[in-house]
Amino acid sequence: MPRAAQVYVAAFGAVWCGFVAFALVETLIHQPVAAIIPAAMLAFGAALTYRGFRISAIAHGDTLTVRNYFATKHLTRSDIEDFRIGRASNQPIGQTIHLLLRNKGILAIDAAARPYITHRGKLQLAERQAKLEAWLSKA
């Protein structure tokens, strides 16, 4: 993930969790029974920020580790059939790289998802796909 995106995720998460933590303290003081709502919001926000900061796709040896927002998958070269560019499910106009798996499954790489609408952005996505294809062909 680009450094600017990591800084944005970390800053947004810190601000979100800070506001919710303040609300949690205020609620604990004035209405302790209702504190479950900001506590749940804080836990969800912290977990999502942590996962958002850690999303990645790392090829190491014969294994590709894909850390998406909600799951981490460890795949070997033999698990992967090909890579395709397609619509990102978490963005209205974005694209990402999808792994076509030999078991007929499809896995999106959340770390590659961006609103690639400019020519430069489309080239960056194609370069990332080419790097993954080069890794896959080393078998």
The per-residue pLDDT for 139 is 61
- 91 and 40 fall within a common domain: no
CB-CB contact of 57 with 64 (8 Å):
yes
Exposed (0-12), middle (13-18) or buried (19+): which is 135, by Cβ within 10 Å? middle
The domain total for the chain is 2
Tell me which of 88-92, 97-101, 104-108 is least confident.
88-92
- Nearest alpha carbon to residue 137 among 57, 60, 56, 62: 62
- 116 and 48 fall within a common domain: no
- 33 and 80 fall within a common domain: no
pLDDT digits (tens, 9 = 90+) for 26-81: 999 999 999 999 999 999 999 988 888 888 899 999 999 999 888 899 999 999 99
- 92 and 120 fall within a common domain: yes
**All residues at 6 or more sequence positions from 1 whose CB lies less than 8 Å from its CB, including other chains:** 55, 56, 111
Tell me which of 77-81, 120-124, 125-129 is least confident.
120-124
Tell me which of 14-18, 36-40, 89-93 is least confident.
89-93
- 63 and 107 fall within a common domain: yes
Q: What is the dihedral of CA 39, 111, 92, 20, to 10 degrees?
A: 20
- 109 and 73 fall within a common domain: yes
Instruction: Find the domain containing 26 and state its range.
Output: 3-53
The per-residue pLDDT for 120 is 86
| DSSP character string of 24-36 | HHHHHHH-GGGGH
- 60 and 115 fall within a common domain: yes
pLDDT digits (tens, 9 = 90+) for 101-115: 999 899 999 888 877
pLDDT of 1 above 70: no
- 110 and 73 fall within a common domain: yes
CB-CB contact of 51 with 69 (8 Å):
yes
The per-residue pLDDT for 90 is 66
